[in-house]
Chain A
């Protein structure tokens, strides 16, 4: 079946540090991949997505590249801010399988001034 594995948190960084949150997946076929972000007290919001191999999704300084050969979709940001403190979820949607997403366990990021 489908599954998504993320690095366990919390990840604690100083402001302006480089961020990587690892995400690997297991799925049949060629899924679409997503990163969602959950700020404190809120629901999840789409951060970025990639729908095919070698695509790079980007938004708000965050990037992730769909790597089929390593079944990975790692999230990166060159310089984090305190306002980036949130929980980040990697997710996949298997194409031609309805509209359902499978989520990873989430990684909490804490950025200190």
Chain B
């Protein structure tokens, strides 16, 4: 069982370049999330999708766009990368509302020069 799969695991960009982080889950979860992790700041929510066809902004959405392509896939796009977007990005999906458990991918480390 693969769980939550993110690609790529590492990426180096130059300022102004664009890229898309891909995420797929095989657990038939409705909700999916993109977080960024920065030292001392924990995880901050960028965007989330409560169900197929819907997306909403989280705490730090500026500079990002998302697409919920289908129930399995939720991508995060940086249209014009900035050094402030250097971070580790985590995709997660939600198990069910009762337990509140998020399942996380292994993360994507992005460096913007």
Contacts and interface: CB of A to CB of B under 8 A. Distances in A.
Interface of A: 4, 8, 32, 34, 36, 41-46, 49, 51, 89, 93, 98-101, 103-106
A45 B103 CA distance: 7
A93 B31 CA distance: 15
Given A93-B100, A100-B58, A101-B100, A43 B42 contact: no
Q: Which of B48, B92, B102 has the most CB of A within 10 A?
A: B102
8 contacts: A32-B100, A42-B107, A45-B104, A99-B31, A99-B50, A99-B100, A101-B102, A103-B35
Contacts of A43: 4, 90, 92, 104-107
Interface residues of B, number: 25
A49 B50 contact: no
Contact of B106 (A41, A46, A51, A99): A41
Contacts of B113: none
Contacts of A41: 106
A101 B95 CA distance: 13
A106 B48 CA distance: 21
Q: Which of A8, A44, A51, A104 has the most CB of B within 10 A?
A: A44
